[in-house]
Amino acid sequence: MMVIGYARVSTEVQSLAAQLTQLQAANCTKIFREKVSGARTDRKQLAALIKELSKGDVVLVTRLDRLARSTRDLLNVLAAIAEKGAGFKSLGDAWADTTTAHGRLMLTVLGGLAEFERELIRARTGEGRERAKARGVVLGRKPKLTKHQQREAIARRDAGEVLTKIARSYNVSHSTISRL
């Protein structure tokens, strides 16, 4: 069993020193560190940490916000850690400890609340879309070609002109013309 630390700051000018001191004091065997925004899901060092995990290891952070920016992201990262058979602890958030039954309960409740919130947002968004459609609002991106240009491009295509040539003349991709 190893205790593996993860330290993160958002910008290059910020320092990892305080986090590293706390993680070293907590007897971390190894510490992964990176300077990247927590909003990014493609954090290389976090991915490397998860890849290296073995059954019984514990991932340790100084605070929850060092691991994830949102509840959804936190739950995804914790699921990846759990899939490896490892646990998770936060020094600053005693309740966030998947190595105990109470910690797992708290994170399960948090996961349920996040899922509930996501469903509410999805329902409100869907209702808003339906109301907009009823008012005649056309959703999505504006077409790159006017109706006249579309008819003209179709006629040129039907006449045997090459799609890429037609597309170039309208400054669009050939796939835009082929979808017509």
In this structure, the number of other CB atoms found within 10 A of the CB of residue 6 comes to 25
Cβ–Cβ < 8 Å for 23, 8: no
- Is position 10 annotated as part of the catalytic site? yes
Tokens linked to 147? 């109706």
Q: Of 167, 171, 165, 161, nearest to 179 (Cα)? A: 167
The active-site residue, picked from 10, 15, 169, 173, is 10
Residue position matching structure tokens 């597309």: 167
Cα of 29 vs its chain's centroid, Å? 28
List residues with catalytic annotation: 10
